[in-house]
Chain A
Amino acid sequence: MSPFVLPGDGRVDPSRPTVPGPALSTVVRRLHQAPADLVLSPGTVLDAAALVADAIDEMTGAPTAPGHQHGAAELEEIREFFAGPETAPTSANPRSRSAALTVWVLVDPAVHAAPALIRDTWTMPPLADGRPWPRSAAIARWATATITTVASTFAPVVDPSAWTATNASREEAARAILRAAGMHPAYETAVSAEARWQSVSTLIQQQVLNQLALEARRAEELAARLRSKAAGEAVTQISHV
């Protein structure tokens, strides 16, 4: 798995605050306009690595062909990520199919060229000769991390074939991609966007339901135990408070 992919949270780097990205409506509309051949059903064969490589070329303007200084590492990472049994092209697993729609969103200049993203892009250690990484390399790394994060954390929860189906699913997918990309919708704050995510995320809502069910059982158990004669006999106390 890519070292950029952090488990569970759905964000590439939870320690960094999200930056303003495009308006939510922009990303939702982008998903709504996705060509039908990007909305892939289970079992669809897809060369996700090639798709991603093409997308990175488009975003960075720099080839990612082997031997090229910048992007080659990302290409290898993508190939490795999508070559595993969990992400095999013909697998029913949704991870590789998720790359199609994620890429579709990221290649929109409103997303990958968002001013805040350009300004606050990945802080990377300088090259061995002290030169900073070029912008194209930063974009390539950002895109790779975003795509693999979405594939690992969101696609297993909501199948990519359902992302564009309804208003609610489009919003959830849009927010999932923006979060993974380190952004929150324009006209929202990082805090309000996270609060909204809590309420639209299928995974979180399922976790919440599980939590609430556990808490309800615990409350019942606590009440029953406190009603019991054993608890009611109380315990020796020495203080007056």
Chain B
Amino acid sequence: MSDPTPRTDAAAPLPPGVPDPALAEYAVGGSLALTDAERWPLMSAQGRARLEALRHHPHAPVWVHETGDRLDSDDLTALAQIDAAVAAGTFRATAPGAPAWVDALVERAYAVVPRYRQAARTQGRRARDLSEVPPVHRGDLIEDIASFVPVDVPLDRVLEGTSSGSGGTALTVPLHPVSTAAEVLYFTDLARQAGVEWEPEPGRLGLLNVIDQRAGFTYASALTSKGGVPMARVNVHPDAWRAPGDREAFLQDQDPVVVSGHPLSLLALAELEVDLAPRVVFSGAAHLTPAARRQLERRWGVPIIDVYGTREAGLIAADLHGTPEGHAGTPTEHVVLSRRIHVEILDAAGQPVPEGTRGEITVTVEDNPYLPLLRYRTGDTAALRHDRLSDGTWAAVLVGLEGRAPVRFASAAGPWIPSVDLTQILQAYGLTGWHLHQDAAGDLELTVFAPLTPADLSAVVGAVERLTGRQPAVATVAPVDAGTAPKRRFTSTYET
């Protein structure tokens, strides 16, 4: 997608779906390039009919985008192998240490990944095992993502993914259709662990991916690896719909089997006057508080699975149960998924900590052929515990996971603004780092990284004011001082 650039003519109306000149990428149909046959190479005539019915539903939202899973028959074969491995627990460790595939990954990385080839040249030798591989962080990927892509993998299937993370600048992540579609397998397995068999049900949407933000990509699609069952990414924000009542009518008619969302978007969906009957709900991208989990459980009476991961590393772990009611102080437990992922906990110096000690979650993952990651520091913290399972394998458990907290801001007019809306704006105006805080009185304080020209700063302040109805007080810090600034980009003491 092309970078959005603010228009100079402020009087001209913005295209539908574009709330700010800097967010031109959200114009309806603004990022399309393929045919449906290219989006879903294996779609049947029946699948096409279902997709068209979904697209042109009388109460359908304004579809901002179209996208498919791109899966061909070879991809389905690969996914079937992954599915079998997940079911058999092939990727689970047989001992608490690093599984055998990690050593092979280290050897491969030093042979074909530019960053590690350079390290070998500089140091005169390759790392002998994972413990000798220096950790990397998000900034390293932002600085030179190409250096992490193996030189022996054809690039013809590469897709653009994005990650906002918790560091400010957006990260472009090279994705592969198979590793992305594998999430369907992981969701199916997690649902099964929670006692739910995710099967397509005639007349029902297979999966609803729900967002609640001022601007976002929405689309009707299909899951090839799930028999072509229809799915949709839907924005429950009122501005995303053509007419009052469309939102409720559409959702009621679709009645998705599975719902996936962010805690705030799930809560927004739960508050609607719609009787949905999902079999299971997946929450991700931010911390699911016990109160939010209870609310969702009471609303739908189904398992609420809290998934943890990053766009660049994929799904990492999941909490199927949450904290028992009445045990608010009990730390959460997210079990690392049965996939090709190895988790360590490192201290600030990059050294592994003893079992049970808190530190930074660091992952080594070989799933996406375009982005094998070795000792990738996520910026999130937890303690790690290893549990022996009945089959003799070991499960890694993240205890007391602390990641991103969902934050929303009170606009002057009353409606809540989720932090993702502000992330879009601040990133679109080119900020590499910031801290936005709303105090108890509702006033906004924005700290940004210098240097920023007066014109750029004025544009940012104007955009925030248009969105929130509040003009923020602004301070600038030198990037070198950013390490002393709060890590969270958004904080609020407005809500208590």
Contact = CB atoms under 8 A, between A and B. Distances in A.
Contact of A238 (B114, B121, B123, B207): B207
Interface in A22-51: none
Given A225-B155, A235-B70, A211 B124 contact: no
Given A195-B124, A211-B117, A214-B151, A234 B32 contact: no
A118 interface: no
B1 A239 contact: no
Q: Is the interface of A mostly helix, strand, loop or mixed?
A: helix
B149 A233 contact: no
A58 interface: no
Contacts of A194: 124-125
B158 A233 contact: no
Interface stretch (A139-147, A166-174, A216-224): A216-224
A144 B205 CA distance: 74
B33 A222 contact: no
B423 interface: no
Interface size class of B (residues with CB under 8 A): 35 or more
Contact of A237 (B180, B222, B265): B180
A231 B160 contact: yes
A235 B68 contact: yes
A127 B379 CA distance: 61
A221 B155 contact: yes
A234 B314 contact: no
A225 B34 contact: no
Contacts of B38: 230
A208 interface: yes
Contacts of A238: 183-184, 187, 207, 209, 223, 231, 260, 282
B135 interface: no
Contacts of B147: 215, 219
B67 A233 contact: yes
Contacts of A215: 114, 117, 146-147, 151
B134 interface: no
B476 interface: no
Contacts of A222: 145-146, 149, 155, 158, 174
Contacts of B172: 226
Contacts of A241: 284-285, 307-311, 314-315
A236 interface: yes
Nearest to B283: A240
A197 interface: yes
Contact of A240 (B146, B177, B181, B284): B284
B315 A239 contact: yes
A83 B260 CA distance: 73
A2 interface: no
Interface string A68-95: 0000000000000000000000000000
B285 A240 contact: yes
Interface in B17-46: 31-34, 38-39
B33 A232 contact: yes
A159 B312 CA distance: 48
A116 interface: no
A196 B217 CA distance: 52
Contacts of A131: none
B261 interface: yes
Interface size class of A (residues with CB under 8 A): 20 to 34
Contact of B149 (A218, A232, A236): A218
A203 to B, nearest CB: 13
Contacts of A233: 31-34, 39, 65-67
A206 interface: no
A235 B207 contact: no
A234 B159 contact: yes
B193 to A, nearest CB: 16
B155 A218 contact: yes
Nearest to B68: A236
Contact of A229 (B33, B124, B175): B33
A239 B282 contact: yes
B221 interface: yes
B469 interface: no
Of the candidates B155, B282, B307, the one having the most CB atoms from chain A within 10 angstroms of its own CB is B155
Interface in B82-134: 114, 117, 121-125
A196 B123 CA distance: 9
A228 interface: yes
B262 interface: yes
A221 to B, nearest CB: 6
A222 B172 CA distance: 11
Nearest to B260: A238
A194 B121 CA distance: 9
A231 B307 CA distance: 26
Contacts of A221: 155
A204 B121 CA distance: 9
B221 A236 contact: yes
A1 interface: no
A17 to B, nearest CB: 11
B69 interface: yes
A230 B146 contact: no
B33 A230 contact: yes
Interface in B129-153: 145-147, 149, 151
B159 A231 contact: yes
Interface string B150-166: 01000110111100000
Contacts of B315: 239, 241
Of the candidates A197, A222, A230, A234, the one having the most CB atoms from chain B within 10 angstroms of its own CB is A234
Nearest to B40: A236
Nearest to B186: A239
Contacts of A229: 31-33
A207 to B, nearest CB: 9
Nearest to A223: B146
Interface of B: 1-2, 31-34, 38-39, 65-70, 114, 117, 121-125, 145-147, 149, 151, 155-156, 158-161, 172, 174-175, 177, 180-181, 183-184, 187, 207, 209, 217, 219, 221-223, 231, 233, 260-262, 265, 282-285, 307-311, 314-315
16 contacts: A196-B124, A215-B117, A223-B146, A232-B1, A232-B31, A233-B32, A233-B33, A233-B34, A235-B67, A235-B70, A236-B181, A238-B183, A238-B207, A238-B282, A241-B285, A241-B308
Given A214-B151, A236-B219, 7 more contacts: A218-B146, A233-B66, A233-B67, A236-B231, A240-B282, A241-B284, A241-B307
- A-B pairs, 4 with minimum CB distance: A195-B124, A229-B33, A219-B146, A194-B124
